[in-house]
Structures are given as C-alpha cells and as structure tokens.
Structure 1
C-alpha cells in the first residue's frame, strides 16, 4: 500500500540518491548569508537554488513513493529554492526559511496558482522542507503538476535558531502568509507569474497551520492581498482546548509524549505563563532533560524514547487536576488561543481525517465541521478516509488534497482563466448509497479507482453509481468526457 510510505520514515533509496546530486546556485548570496546568520535582523527575501528535478526523476520519485501512475503525471521539471524572508514574531521581525518549488516550462500567460503546504511535526531543524526533509520532497511532486508550491519551515525550524512554538497558530499563519508575499516579490527574479488562485493544504501540525492560515486569509486579518481559493487540511488538532488535550489526558498513555513536551516548552516561549521552571510541569528526571532534547538537533524517536511510558510518570500529579478544574489556567488560555476552527469559510474547505488516528484525534474534524455548519457555512466538509492510523492516513490525506487542489485550478485559455472542465460534478458528495454524475447520460462509462492502490474497484455506465460495495473513505471517480472527481463515501 503506497500510503504507508508517507509515514515520514526514511526516503526511498532512489530519492536519496537524487538528493546527493543536487546542485547549488546562489541568488543574492551575500544577502542570503546575512539573513541566515542574523536571526533577528530583518532582510528582504532571498532565494537560493538547492536542486533541479527532471520530469523523469519526479516520475521515478512518485513510483518510489508508490503513487499509482495512472493518477499522477510529471508534467514539468521543477526547481527548488530555499527562500529566506522576514516575518513578525513576538513584537519583532525575524528571518525564517521555506522551500519554494517552481515548475519549469510553464509559459501560459495566466500564471501559476499558489499551493501553500504546511508541514507536520518536526523536531530537528534540518528535517524542515527547505533542507529537503522527507516531507519537503512532496513539494516537487506537487509542483510538477503546474503549481507554485510554498513550504514554510516555521519559526525555530529550518535556518531559524529560535525555539519552535509548536502548534502556535499565529506564527504558523504568519510563516505562510509572509512566504506568499516573498514568493510574489521573487516572481520577476525567478521567472514566473501568479494567476491569483491561492490554495492551502497540510497534515498533522500542518493541518492546524493550514486552518490557521485559511482562517486569517478569510477573515482578512492580512488585508485582501491574497484571496483564498480553497483549503484541504488533514488530521489537524483544530480544537486543542476542547478535543485534543482532553482526549490526550483522558488516557493513561499517549503515543507521542514528545509532542506534549514540545507543546509546553514551545508555548511557554511565546506566552511565558505556563511555568517558571519545567519541573512545575514534568516530573524528574524528565524535567531536567527536556530542554536539551528540544534544542532542534534531536528527532522524535530520540525524545520519545527519553520519556516514560505513562502520563502518570511524566506529568506532575496535581497539574492535570488544576487544568481540568480551572478554565482560566494558563494552559487552557493558551489552548483556546490556538483553536483554529471558529470561522466561516467563504471558499471550499475539505478536512480529511482517519478514525484510528492515535496522535491527532479525528473528533477535531467533526467538531470543526459541526461548528461551521451551526454557523451557517455551506463551504466545508469533513471527509472520512477510513480506519487508518496517523501514519497510514498521511499519504491519502496529502495526495488527496493535491488532487483536490489540482481539480480546482482554473484552466488558461487564450490568456483567460476558465473553470477547469475535468472536475467531475457528483451529488450528493459525501454519499452513502448512491451518487449521480452531473452531465452524465445512460451511455456514459465511468469507473471508481482506489486512491490508495490505483486499482479500479467499480465500473459501469449511466448517471447513477451504487456505492454499497465501497467502504468508507475517499475514492476517485472518472467518467468519459466529464473528467474526474474525488468522492467521499460515508458509512
């Protein structure tokens, strides 16, 4: 199953070999060096070429990741740049980094759509996208489809030497927005134009970050410079205060205690109210070791292995009672400040989740969906990708979001943007028992393809598809002459 390769483990060997052959070309090299070394000195955005990927290399990369060939086509060579750019943080202006993937040979006069991809949890600075960490490699696969792909590293990761404020909504959103501004400013220098469409996706922490940026673009917190065209976050902790933390602390153990330590230390670096000494939160000997482990040079496995197997051994015994019984506890106040679901979408928002997710509980998506529905939104849905764990869910959510965005990119005809004809209309969607194809007739041939394997699981003719044989999850429907679309099946 290809999606198992997206659990952010070691890269396939052919991909690693490609990275060993990357070439470096500096643009504004002196300025880049100054931006790198002076973390608190603002500078204009700079771009430094890190690698160029050919279509054949990207096709091989997709095969190595197990992406079905009939669902993916490498249409463009891609250049990857490390971009360093300024953003506001804690009343100052700091320099942060990100990866910019530019498709080549794209001469259409309408320009490129922006696709901001927000990465998941990383502990090592050099695992960030601009260093072509495993998640960063997805940028090439997205860009070869004809998207300008932006992958912010976030504060404290990549070239930034600050403490990373883990799942801090404002800094995540700012990292995304100010990278969009940097990409716009670099367009003339790097030889591309923008078409005005702006999409966002992300998984895990990146799902949280994607929702934060989508919210802020929608509520015009940044003005109207970039209008949101659609967002497809996956498995994000959107409701930290009411869902993620209560379910985490309700259990005797948590699959990734390093996340909890990261959260506490990261938020305290922003708010300064969670603790004065870390032993107020964690028991010894763990309190004495956590800061050293969270220095940006250790990976998740190392930190998790240094934590005890149960929360009872890890967290101070009275702390949880204080948090649960005092809504004004600094931890609760910080959690509420970083909830990202209480806004009304004005562009489509697709929230992917899996029901066996042991790291980010799927109820986050359901709470967000319920709140938005109650407030009158009709532009959102939560999509069940099946009974998969967090690592298994990643590939489906990331690839599904990429297809979802690709189907919403407007076509360029004689210099004019038009609706893209291959996006297949289906009603209802999500569906349980049957779905009707928009524009189909009795002789229209169609097939249903597994996004996970690329195999055809159902085929036939006509306007209506009967879905009783399909399990819950996301499926690709292709209809002759009408295009393709993603169908969510519910059970």
Structure 2
C-alpha cells in the first residue's frame, strides 16, 4: 500500500488538541459521467447487531483528567465527572462490501442516572506506524487520552471509532479520505455504542453530536451527511462541528496540480491517490502518477521523502488528465468524495484557519456557499483568522466545544 510520509515533528504537534495530522486530498472538476461504483456497501440495517465485544480499559478520576491538560489554559476547569473507558469491537463493512470487525473507544462519564447525549468523535490522520494513536489503544499519544477525555467528563458519552485499518482491523489498509467508509465505520460504531448502552443500562437521551478535525473533520461531515440522508430514523443529529476538512476534493486536485510553489503536504496526497486508485478499481501503477525516481522509491519505501513541487513529483500525463478533464475514472472518484454540496438540517459550524496551507480554507468556504445556496439555514462558517492547520487547533477545540454546548 502506498502511504504518506509526515515529519514526526508535525505528527506530534497537536495530539493534545485532537487536531490530528493533516487530511489532504485532491481533485478537479470534471465532465458529467457516471462515477465509478463505490465499493463500500450501504449502511447495514439498524436491526442487525453490531457490537461484538467490550473491554474495560480503565477508570479515571477527575483529578487525573485535569492533569492531562494542565498545559492548556482553562482546560482543566472543564473537568466535571470521572470517566470509564472501554474498547468496543463491532461489525462494519469494508470498502469491498465484506463484513469485518472494527474497533473504537467508548468514554463514559460517571454522571449518575441522568440520561446523557452521544458524541461521535472522528480522529485526525494516523500513519500506520503510529498505530498506538488509534482511540481504542487509549495511549498517552492519542487524541482521546487528553482533550477528548476532558470533553467526555463534561457529560458526553463519546464514541470514537478507530476507522478501518486500525485497532481490530489493522491488517487492512486504511481507506484514507474515503468518505463512504469513514462515515459507515463511524455510524456502525454509534450503533454498537447504543447496543452497549442498552446492555449496561446506561441512560441515553436523544441528542447526538459530531466532532472532528482534519481527516476527522472530513469524516465528521461525511457522517453528518450519511446520518441525515440514510439513517435519520436511528439518529437525529443535534449539532455538528467539523474542522479543517478537505470537503471539496475536485477543486483541491486542480489546486495541487496547478501549484507552482512548494506544498508541504504532497507526501500525504500520495496516500489519497493510492486509496482512490485501489477503492475505485482504477488500479494503475505508481509510474502513472509519479515521475521517476519517485515512483520507484515510493514503491520501495512508502515513507520516503518526496519533493514539494507538484510538477516534480507528479507525472505530466496524470496532471494533464486531471487538469484537462479527460481522466474520467479518477475525476469520478474525486467527485464521489466531494461532500461539500448538500443541505444539512441540523446546526453545523465549519471551522477553518484562513492561512491553512495543508487543507486550504476554500474547502470550508465552498461548503458553506453550496449549503446556503441549497437552503440550509443553520450552517455557519467560523474562520480562524491567520491560523494554519496546526496553530488553529487550540482555537478550534475551544470554539467547537462552545458551539456544541449551546445545544446540550
């Protein structure tokens, strides 16, 4: 599998803040043709049992949770309840439609008998060699260990899917930036969470919140769309706060392939191309996408460095096929992952740094414009002035929490 290479210094910058490591992606507008058939199956029926197993990871008092975020101003003051953390395994569908076992973390505040809302938290990018950052490991290097645990302690039952390719499904390739499987794996984790709550007699109210940054922002918006369009009878979205997601893949591709300045995220885009090449059955070799010696070097070492200039890394025929709108299989795959243009019903706030050079701000601006044009009345655009993909994480964390709390 072709993977991304991200500098370790960037990969650790924001783990305390659930920022994740860049989402990335790409695409270009295309002529109207039938999109390749997505190989992920439709969501499984609600009547089907999803929960396979549950394991208590640990119980954590409020003082311990506050200590984990001691370096973040005021974060410790949010801690209210002790929490219990479980590892759930559950069934979902892989991108080929086959049933697999996936996993995730479930964070439960010890808040007495009062019914609590569910919050689905979608994590940011995790490289396969950083496997222990997946939520179900609940390690100190994971996003759920710190900020998300504090969020749970304020009174949310948090469902945090690992996604396909991590945890119980780590033998499978992670379908990076593939909207359908990110959404379905997250939905099936919610279903498993509800089954666990019924089994353990955990009282739930009818509120459901969605949150995630970077790849998690993309997954959050994809899940919101899936819930409202295909699973509204099971879960009603109360409010959603995705951050810095690559929602407009088709425009992103043109942006990347036309760029004449260095782009620091090109190594991550390698992973996106590999995912779409595989999931949509395009099945081209590395040499179609990448110039030499990069094609050979990436095949031998997928974590090797790549140049930051688009024209140096990407093969001319590939670039022309996207920019000239003639590569219909790939353009159709990009369009299948455009999730910016639909009409959400629930309150939605799109957070994004205006100086984001990993996932440019236009992704959220385009989503806001398209949704408003379709008549969405409860969608907001929340620019983070001057923030890049990493420095925006703290502001996102605090503002997203405040946004969701309005509907608690």
Please, what TM-score do these two structures have when normalized by structure 2? 0.83
Larger radius of gyration: 1
* Alpha-carbon spacing, 1:228–1:68, altered in 2? closer, same or farther (3 Å): same
Task: Find the counterpart in structure 1 of residue 278 from structure 2.
Answer: 269
Matched, 1:200 2:216: no
Report how many aligned residue pairs link the two structures: 360
**Aligned pair partner of 1:113 in 107, 117, 131:** 117
**Alignment check: 8 A CA contact 1:8 1:135 kept:** no
Q: Which runs of 5+ in 1 are unaligned?
A: 13-41, 295-302, 410-491
SS of 1:99's equivalent in the other structure is strand
Structure 1 residue 101: deviation in Å?
A: 0.7
C-alpha separation between the residues in 2 aligned to 1:174 and 1:368?
A: 21
**Alignment check: 8 A CA contact 2:113 2:203 kept:** no
Matched, 1:218 2:217: no
**Aligned pair partner of 1:53 in 46, 60, 66:** 60
Structure 1 residue 58: deviation in Å?
A: 1.0
Task: Find the counterpart in structure 2 of residue 162 from structure 1.
Answer: 172
**Alignment check: 8 A CA contact 1:369 1:381 kept:** yes
Higher relative contact order (CA 8 A, sep 6+): 2
**Alignment check: 8 A CA contact 1:261 1:290 kept:** no
Task: Find the counterpart in structure 2 of residue 349 from structure 1.
Answer: 348
Task: Find the counterpart in structure 1 of residue 243 from structure 2.
Answer: 234
**Alignment check: 8 A CA contact 1:6 1:395 kept:** no
SS of 1:146's equivalent in the other structure is coil
* Alpha-carbon spacing, 1:100–1:293, altered in 2? closer, same or farther (3 Å): farther
* Alpha-carbon spacing, 1:10–1:340, altered in 2? closer, same or farther (3 Å): closer
**Alignment check: 8 A CA contact 1:349 1:381 kept:** yes
Task: Find the counterpart in structure 1 of residue 339 from structure 2.
Answer: 340
Structure 1 residue 6: deviation in Å?
A: 10
Matched, 1:80 2:78: no
Q: Which runs of 5+ in 2 are unaligned?
A: 1-8, 17-48
Return the structure number with greater strand share: 1
**Alignment check: 8 A CA contact 1:232 1:350 kept:** yes
C-alpha separation between the residues in 2 aligned to 1:200 and 1:10?
A: 20
Matched, 1:134 2:133: no
Cα RMSD (Å) of the superposition? 2.2
Matched, 1:173 2:179: no
**Alignment check: 8 A CA contact 1:232 1:401 kept:** yes
1:88-487 alignment to 2 at 5 Å?
88-89=93-94, 90-108=96-114, 111-124=115-128, 125-132=131-138, 133-137=141-145, 138-160=147-169, 161-219=171-229, 221-242=230-251, 244-252=252-260, 253-273=262-282, 275-291=283-299, 293=301, 303=303, 306-326=305-325, 328-409=327-408
SS of 1:159's equivalent in the other structure is helix
Task: Find the counterpart in structure 1 of residue 34 from structure 2.
Answer: none
Task: Find the counterpart in structure 2 of residue 30 from structure 1.
Answer: none
C-alpha separation between the residues in 2 aligned to 1:329 and 1:140?
A: 44
Task: Find the counterpart in structure 2 of residue 9 from structure 1.
Answer: 13
For each residue in 1:395-416, what CA deviation from the matched residue of structure 2 results, as whole angstroms up to 9, or x when unmatched?
Answer: 221332122212311xxxxxxx
Please, what TM-score do these two structures have when normalized by structure 1? 0.69
Structure 1 residue 44: deviation in Å?
A: 4.0
C-alpha separation between the residues in 2 aligned to 1:10 and 1:344?
A: 31
For each residue in 1:409-438, what CA deviation from the matched residue of structure 2 results, as whole angstroms up to 9, or x when unmatched?
Answer: 1xxxxxxxxxxxxxxxxxxxxxxxxxxxxx
